[in-house]
Amino acid sequence: MIKRAVIALGGNALIKPGQKGTIYEQFANTRETVKSIVKIIKDGWDVVLTHGNGPQVGAILLQNQAGRDLVPPMPLGICVAESQGLIGYMIQQCLSNALRKEGIKKDVVTIITQVLVDDNDPAFENPTKPIGPYFDGNQALKLLKDGYQMTKQKNGWRIVVPSPDPKAIVEAKVIKTLLDNGVIVIAAGGGGMPVIERKGWGLDGREAVVDKDLSAERLAEDIGANVLLILTDVPYVYLNYGSERQRALKEVKLEEIKKYYEDGHFPAGSMGPKVLAAIRFLESGGERAIIADIDHAWEALKGKTGTHITR
């Protein structure tokens, strides 16, 4: 039986709370993150890794803004592509080095990935996805004057951008071919670059950031994955999270978690997209979706921790 997993890295994979996000911090965190991925590969799993890019793409946007009088600023779609290369490079190098130390001869490659979206997706008119660092009120006001849309959160203000629903992974066939030939693939980073199909033209980029968990689910469908493993900064999916009635979900059936989702238990900005990705994966024929703590990916895949969702 083929053991094939799409693993979506989130939470504190690259930047820990309180860190500035220097390249040294990000490399150190990546080296820690890939340790559990190596264990999964040693267990015989074919693996595709996806990752978020919120802090990185936000920083790239601000770098563009700061240097706009010296060099032409790049649009958001190009910044997403830059973040794919940046993060893919870190994961690819750290995972390759970790595999080599374990005597595992496997190639690791990053695929710059485009994701097809609907040009009429209402998300383009309603930016909701926060990216980049937190700002104080004065900084937020300046960014508003510069044309950015902002939202106020508990720790300050953040830039928000459109987040359309992914419809298909453009490079899925290539990714599957690599996987079929034993290559470990890093793909759909930051949700992939959102593109639309223009009649008489072909693919054309749109300015947005696609949710990485929803893109991971589309990719899992396309490559025939058994398992979708979504890693975050909490060990389980919870009902009534943060309250005295908080309850961890460990083994849960599809219909049950669908009801919880429809009842509004999972906020759109945090656990909501992860649960929706799990629901879609199982409805498309996937065997198991797991949502777990990023520091215990291997244990989650072994069934020792995490929320396991099945039909």
Catalytic residue status for 199: no
Catalytic residue status for 190: no
CATH of domain 46-127+162-208: 3.40.1160.10
Catalytic residue chosen out of the listed positions 52, 129, 191, 258: 129
Catalytic residue status for 226: no
Q: What percentage of the chain carries pLDDT values higher than 70?
A: 99
Looking at residue 54, its pLDDT comes to: 85
Q: What is the pLDDT of residues 172-201, one digit of tens each?
A: 999 999 999 999 999 999 999 999 999 999
Catalytic residue chosen out of the listed positions 132, 212, 258, 286: 212
Write the CA distances from 301 to 3, 194, 294, integer angstroms: 11, 30, 11
Catalytic residue status for 12: yes
Looking at residue 148, its pLDDT comes to: 86
Task: Find tokens 């600023």 and name the residue.
Answer: 73
Task: Find tokens 């390759």 and name the residue.
Answer: 96
How far apart are the C-alpha atoms of 224 and 220, rounded to whole Å?
Answer: 6
Architecture (CATH level 2) of domain 224-310: 3-Layer(aba) Sandwich (3.40)
Q: What is the pLDDT of residues 197-254, one digit of tens each?
A: 999 999 999 999 999 999 999 999 999 999 999 999 999 999 999 888 999 999 999 9
Catalytic residue chosen out of the listed positions 53, 191, 258, 274: 274
Query: Which residues in the chain belong to E strands, given as ranges?
Result: 4-9, 46-51, 108-110, 114-116, 129-135, 149-153, 156-161, 168-169, 184-186, 193-198, 202-205, 227-232, 237-239, 247-249, 251-253, 288-293, 307-310
Q: Where does the chain hold its CATH 3.40.1160.10 domain(s)?
A: 46-127+162-208, 224-310
Catalytic residue status for 129: yes
CA 69 to chain centre: 32
